[in-house]
Amino acid sequence: MTSASSSPASRLKARLATGRILVTPGIADAHAARLSAMAGFEAVFMSGFGVAAARHGLPDTGQLSYGEMRDAVRDIVAATEIPVIADGDTGYGNAVQVKRTIAAYAQAGAAAVMIEDQKAPKRCGHVAGKEVVSRAAALERIKAAVDARNEGADILILARTDARGPVGLTEALERARAFHEIGADMIFVEAPQTLEEMRQVGALPGVQMANMLDGGLTPRLSPTDLEAIGYRHVAYATTLLSAATKAMLAALEALKTGVDPAAHVLPFAKLKEIVGFADYDRQAARYPNDET
C-alpha cells in the first residue's frame, strides 16, 4: 500500500514546491502515459480533449460522463508510476457531485484533478461557444473540491477558469485569485490571448499553469520563458494526440495508395519492447508448469 508521504499527490506537491516549472505532455490513454514516463517526464496531464477523441471518437464538448472519465483515469494511472494530473471537467453535477468526483479520482490514483467553471455542456477551452457559471457558483464548485481534499481525498486541486473568453480577463483574474484564497493547490486561467495577459496571469499568487495548445489562442512560449514570468506548470494538452494523428494519416495515405508504410512506423521489435512483452515474458518464465 502506498504511504501518504510517497503518494502521487505528495510527490507532485513536492515537485511543484521546488519552484522549477513542471512540463507535462497531454495524454489520452495508458499507452501515451507509458511513453511519457519512458521519455523521462515527471508527470502527465490527462487531457479531456484527448480522452474524448482517442477513446470515444468525439469532440471535447462535454459528452463524456463521470464514469467514462473516471475509468480513463484508472486505466492511465495503472499504466505508470509518475503522477497523473486528470481532467475532471465541471465535476459532473452540483457541488456534492463535485466532491464525489474528487474522491473517485483520488481513489483511482490521480495526483491532481482539474475542475473548471464552465456551464454544461463544457467545451474545449480554445473553441467558440464557451459559457461560464457565475463567480459565486464557480467558487462553490472549487470550495467543494477543496473540501473533498480536506476531508481525506489524497489529491491536489487544479482550479480552472474559462472566464477570459466569455466575460473578459479582469473577471478571469479575480476568479483565479479567489480560487487560490479558498485553497486550490494550482490555478489555471485558460486561453490568455497576448503576452501581456500571460504576464498578468503569471504574476498571480499560487502555482499557475499554462496550456501551450498547438494552434490555440495563447501565444507560444518556451518553458524557460513561462517560468520567467511566473508560471510553474505547463501542459501540452494536444501535442501527442496531434502528432499521433498526423503520423496515422500519413501511414493511412501510404496504405491507400499502395505505398509501403514502413517509413511511418516503428520496427516491430521496438513496438513490442514499448508495450511490455519482455517484462511479461520474464514474469511468465517463473511459472513453467502453468497449463491454463
Tens-place pLDDT, residues 65-116: 999 999 999 999 999 999 999 999 999 999 999 999 999 999 999 999 999 9
Q: Is it the case that residue 5 has pLDDT exceeding 80?
A: no
C-alpha cell read off for 85? 494530473
Note the pLDDT of residue 237: 96
Backbone angles phi, psi at 234, to 5 degrees: -130, 130
Provide the angle, in degrees to the nearest 10, between the axes of the packed helices 268-275 and 30-38: 100
Q: How far apart are CA 49 and CA 237, in angstroms?
A: 8
pTM score = 0.94
pLDDT 10s digits, 15-29: 999 999 999 999 999
**Separation of alpha carbons 54 and 59, rounded Å:** 10
Distance CA 31, CA 266 (A): 15
Which numeric CATH code is attached to 4-245? Answer: 3.20.20.60
pLDDT band at 1 (very low <50, low <70, confident <90, very high): very low
- What's the rounded Cα separation, in Å, for the pair 11 and 135? 31
CA separation for the pair 132, 122 (Å, rounded) = 9
Domain boundaries, the chain: 4-245
Predicted local confidence at residue 20, as pLDDT: 97
Residue 212 reports pLDDT greater than 70: yes
Q: Which helix (H) or strand (E) holds 215?
A: none
3-state secondary structure of 148: helix
Out of 123-127, 141-145, 254-258, 278-282, pick the least confident.
123-127
| pLDDT above 60 for 4 | no
Q: What amino acid occupies position 278?
A: A
What span, in angstroms and rounded, lies between the C-alpha atoms of 143 and 146? 5
> Model confidence over 219-247: pLDDT tens digits?
999 999 999 999 999 999 999 999 999 99
Residue predicted with more confidence, 10 or 1 = 10
d(CA 281, CA 105): 32
* Average pLDDT of the residues of the chain: 95
Given a cut of 70, whether residue 165 has pLDDT beyond it is: yes
Contacts of 170 (CB under 8 A, 6+ apart): none
Phi and psi at residue 24, to the nearest 5°:
-125, 125
Work out the average pLDDT over 178-204: 97
Place of cell 501581456: 196
**10 near 185, Cβ under 8 Å?**
no
